[in-house]
A and B are shown apart, each in its own frame.
Chain A
Amino acid sequence: MEVLEQISSLIQQGDNEKVLELTSKAINKNISPKDVLDEGLVSGMNAVGERFKNHEIFLPEVLMAARAFYAGMDQLKPLLIRGDLPDLGKIVIGTVQGDLHDIGKNLVGIMLRGAGFEVIDLGKDIPAQKFVETAKHEQAEIIGMSALLTTTQPAMKTVIELLREQGLNARIRTIVGGAPVSEEYAREIGADAYAYDAASAVERVKQLMEVE
């Protein structure tokens, strides 16, 4: 359907006003909300994720696209029935305690939502307990942690230890990332996965979900 292709391409251009307009138009044309979501909004964000991964576009374009995506989602959400919402899985993300950097973490959230995961973004400077409590309460499968500072990355380990103490580490998996974090560091602290950037975070999360 032409209008859905247009929505997808307008998301890639980051045009939130036109996305809003065309989403209402599609709804008025009686196109099913599920199709608007999958073939319009999510298709647009998938393309954005792919182009970001290939360095054809950068952070500003992704942020603009995300804004357009959310503009469409706001229109669509009240119309979607429960089964329509993408449910690849639920993931709790946040920047660890003591760390106030959230650009990378926000980007991961955008990419995961765009790929169809339900994301609960706790924000920045998040204590270990809060990660674990939220994941338990929301029955999330994964906790994603970000740290930009060498001083704060040990807080990732605290979260993983807390999961172990409560016997939750098999049910709730962990993925870590951020400038000072590496594959080796992730292994050393017992994280289930490491992602170098937002695009690979989506891939690793998909892998983790399949393992479950």
Chain B
Amino acid sequence: MGPMLDRLKKGEVLVADGAMGTLLLDKGLQPGECPEALSISKPDILKDIARSYLEADADIIQTNTFGGSPMKLKEYGLEDKTEEVNQRAASLVREVVGDRASVSGSCGPSGALLKPYGDTEPEVLYSGFERQIGALVEGTVDLVCVETMTDLREAVLAVEAAKAVSAGTPVMATMTFDETARGFYTIMGVSVAEAAAGLQEAGADIIGSNCGNGIENMVRIAHEFMKVSSLPVIIQSNAGKPEMKCGRLRYPESPALFAEKAREMMAAGVSIIGGCCGTTAEHIRAIREVVDSRQVR
């Protein structure tokens, strides 16, 4: 296997895993319940999810810590569980995958808005991310994934915190863009070019986009990243906008569509392809098959 960054440098394309939140819902997460707390109360669910992505042959498997920052956990009164939630989530995935896949520590947005447009000081976010990522590293993650960011300043703070905690741990950083008449921008007004430059300067090792509004747009975002990035690019698309069918929520985009689009992303030069909300082990398996058909592992 070898260290991940070396494999990417050699031109290998890696497969990342798919959704976490959507699967937790299927497995009984209740409205208003803190998803990250399940790592402590129902660890078997998290092990099952990690196992399903390992069986789909993903190279990178993520922890259940998207909302694991103290800022987010505070909303559930669980701020003082930050260390336990993150460390436990990381070690659960490690137990399942051993050294057969890389464990990626998920680090999502704080939910707070920075000054001057919000009321939060940058130091608060920085130290919060430091706390979360410190616990993830202690739980033996191989890399940190700062994801679903819309404010470049917040993303930069998280990347810098990760590098301060553990300079040797690779950091992936992804942002979420919407289509506008003037191109792709985050809700906070960050373009792909600005994201790429800012994340690289902050010290990220891999940059790209996740979530979004379906994989068609993600392919276009991938092309934009390839134009401006000198770093390896990661794309983790959701499976389209969820629809209500017969009282159940379903995501419209199929594993077959993901396979087709994975081919286009490989052709564009994307280094890591995975999924986000609404994707399942079948989507990841479909991406794997495409990747394997184009390169020898």
Contact = CB atoms under 8 A, between A and B. Distances in A.
A151 interface: yes
Contact of B241 (A55, A59, A182): A182
A152 interface: yes
Contact of A59 (B75, B111, B117): B117
Contacts of A63: 113, 117-118
Interface stretch (B6-14, B29-37, B78-86, B129-137): B29-37
A125 B189 CA distance: 27
Interface string B255-278: 000000000000000000000000
Given A101-B111, A155-B31, A59 B188 contact: yes
A59 B187 contact: yes
B31 A154 contact: yes
Contacts of A154: 31
Contact of B185 (A58, A64, A97, A103): A58
Q: Is chain B's interface secondary structure helix, strand, loop, or mixed overall?
A: loop
A131 to B, nearest CB: 16
A150 to B, nearest CB: 5
Given A54-B181, A58-B188, A63-B118, A151 B25 contact: yes
Contacts of A151: 25, 29-32
A55 B181 contact: yes
A182 B31 contact: no
Provide the main secondary structure of the chain A interface. loop
B243 A150 contact: no
Q: Report, as a range, how many residues of chain B touch the other chain.
A: 20 to 34
B185 A55 contact: yes
Nearest to A106: B113
Contacts of B249: 150, 180
Contact of B182 (A55, A98, A100, A150): A55
A58 B32 contact: no
A107 to B, nearest CB: 9
A58 B177 CA distance: 12
Interface in A46-88: 54-61, 63-64, 67
A165 interface: no
Interface in A90-147: 97-101, 103, 125
Return the 8 tightest CB-CB contacts between A and B, nearest first: A58-B189, A98-B32, A55-B180, A63-B117, A98-B31, A60-B117, A151-B31, A185-B244
Interface of A: 54-61, 63-64, 67, 97-101, 103, 125, 149-152, 154-155, 180, 182, 184-185, 188
